[in-house]
């Protein structure tokens, strides 16, 4: 059951990433292992702020400043893990 939750969180986070960063044209190529920070030009400092706000809104969570790290934004899976940790 936990795996299904993780998969759905990844799908939800992916939807937020695609919508927030406007990368609909590349959505099919984004999966759990897709590098985000440093690989998506749209994910600059403003993109990170917009993404954090969108994730907080979508999931009803609060992402603290110390949560916004290169490790958290490394891949779609690591970003989903951050969200899962806040939901737990």
The residue ranges of every structural domain in the chain are 2-87
- Please report which confidence band the pLDDT of residue 65 belongs to, taking 50, 70 and 90 as the band edges: very high
CATH tag for 2-87 (out of 3.40.190.90, 3.40.1160.10, 1.10.10.10, 1.10.1200.10): 1.10.1200.10
3-state class (DSSP) for residue 85: helix
| Dihedral of alpha carbons 43, 48, 50, 52, sign | positive
**What pLDDT, on the 0 to 100 scale, is given for residue 1?**
40
pLDDT tens track for 23-50:
999 999 999 999 999 999 999 999 999 9
What six digits make up the tokens of 36?
Answer: 């985000």
């Amino acid at each position: 059951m936990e795996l299904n939750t993780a998969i759905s969180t990844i799908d939800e986070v992916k939807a937020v990433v695609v919508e927030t960063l406007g990368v609909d044209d590349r959505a099919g190529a984004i999966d759990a292992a897709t590098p985000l920070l440093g690989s998506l030009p749209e994910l600059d400092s403003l993109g990170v702020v917009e993404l954090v706000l969108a994730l907080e809104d979508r999931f009803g969570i609060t992402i603290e400043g110390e949560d916004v790290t290169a490790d958290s934004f490394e891949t779609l899976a690591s970003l989903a893990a951050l969200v899962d940790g806040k939901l737990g």
